[in-house]
């Protein structure tokens, strides 16, 4: 679908500098812009590219004044970042939706599907499952017994949802997500072997949650593993049994959270963080990448390192750590001098 500069400026309440009939059908970076694409200038250090970009339309702030001639049509707006987000949402909404139920899908007669659902090839939907209206379930997904999926949720290829799982409205589950596999629970026996502990709970994912590719969330031993409203999880994340993640918390790739840990709301957890079991993370906590958390963290704290330390303490410790080779050499030199004095 094409959009003209006039249409875009009208949507964004912007001012056109150039040809209002210029049309675009995609979005690009400013340095990699191609004819027929729209790009944007949000960071002044990229201004050099606006004079050479091949993109047809460039969004700029209303205060921007070019130092050289610009071939592209400019649209001046109040806030480029917000306008780019609005355009991306508009473009995504204009993309055609998949429709219909594949004849190659296996859907139990005891399952319920809402209106305008799409179900792709070789997807299996078991008995008692309830799928809300306008859901998109791509090929080769598995929806287990008595699973509930809210309206408008999109489930990409290869997602596996075990029995009893509840997924809210307007969620996005990327390829390879697994919800409701058994929690990692084993009891040691006297002979050194392990007895499997039955995992009898379920997983609850509330509304507006996005789960990245190959992320796994285990069912609870009893009760529920809960992912609250608005949580955004990156790819390759492991959430253990009986964990609860508070609303609007964000996690980057390869985070691992052990069982029965509670993570608060509005937290930011960077990549490859490991959190031990039975730990409580407060609200608005920030944890730096590769950190290891083995103790509870109060609201609003920042943690870095392994084992994780408060932010300021970590940076002070790291400043000393970087100097250890030099300090070691100085200590050896002082030891030699001291030995001579003692002689």
Q: Which residues are catalytic?
A: 241
Strand 186-188 versus strand 57-61 pairing type: unpaired
| Alpha-carbon dihedral 102, 104, 110, 112, rounded to 10 degrees | -20
Is 155 exposed, middle or buried (CB count within 10 Å of its CB: 0-12, 13-18, 19+)?
buried
CA gap 74, 52 in Å, rounded: 14
Q: Going along 147-261, which residue ranges are E strands?
A: 148-149, 154-155, 160-161, 166-167, 172-173, 178-181, 186-188, 194-196, 202-205, 210-211, 216-218, 224-227, 232-233, 238-239, 244-245, 250-251, 256-257
**Helix/strand/coil (H, E, C) string of 282-320?**
CCCCEECCCCEECCCECCCCEEECCCCEEHHHHHHHHHH
Q: Residue 274 phi/psi, 5° resolution?
A: -115, 130
On whether the CB atoms of residues 171 and 150 are closer than 8 A, the answer is yes
């Amino acid at each position: 679908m094409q959009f003209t500069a006039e249409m875009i400026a009208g949507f964004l309440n912007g001012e056109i500098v150039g040809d209002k009939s210029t049309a675009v059908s995609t979005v690009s970076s400013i340095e990699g812009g191609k004819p027929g694409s729209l790009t944007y200038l949000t960071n002044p250090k990229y201004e050099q590219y606006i004079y050479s970009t091949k993109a047809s339309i460039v969004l700029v702030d209303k205060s921007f004044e070019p130092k050289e001639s610009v071939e592209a049509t400019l649209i001046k707006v109040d806030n480029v970042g917000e306008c780019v987000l609005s355009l991306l949402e508009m473009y995504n909404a204009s993309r055609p939706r998949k429709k219909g139920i594949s004849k190659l899908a296996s859907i139990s007669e005891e399952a319920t599907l809402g209106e305008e659902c799409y179900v792709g090839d070789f997807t299996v939907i078991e008995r008692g499952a309830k799928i809300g209206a306008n859901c998109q379930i791509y090929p080769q997904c598995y929806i287990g017994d008595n699973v509930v999926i809210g309206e408008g949720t999109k489930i990409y290829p290869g997602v596996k949802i075990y029995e009893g799982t509840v997924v809210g409205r307007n969620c996005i589950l990327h390829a390879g997500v697994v919800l409701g596999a058994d929690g990692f629970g084993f009891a040691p026996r006297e002979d050194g072997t392990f007895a499997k502990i039955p995992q009898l709970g379920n997983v609850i994912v509330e509304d507006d949650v996005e789960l990245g590719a190959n992320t796994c969330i285990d069912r609870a031993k009893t009760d529920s593993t809960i992912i609250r409203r608005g949580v955004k999880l990156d790819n390759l994340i492991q959430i253990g049994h009986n964990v609860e993640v508070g609303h609007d918390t964000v996690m980057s790739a390869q985070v691992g959270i052990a069982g029965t840990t509670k993570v608060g709301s509005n937290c930011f957890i960077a990549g490859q963080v490991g959190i031990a079991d039975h730990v409580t993370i407060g609200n608005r906590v920030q944890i730096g990448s590769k950190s290891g958390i083995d103790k509870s963290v109060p609201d609003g704290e920042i943690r870095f390192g392994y084992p994780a330390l408060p932010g300021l303490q970590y940076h002070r410790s790291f400043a000393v750590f970087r100097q250890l080779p030099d300090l070691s050499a100085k200590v050896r030199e002082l030891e030699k001098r001291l030995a001579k004095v003692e002689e």
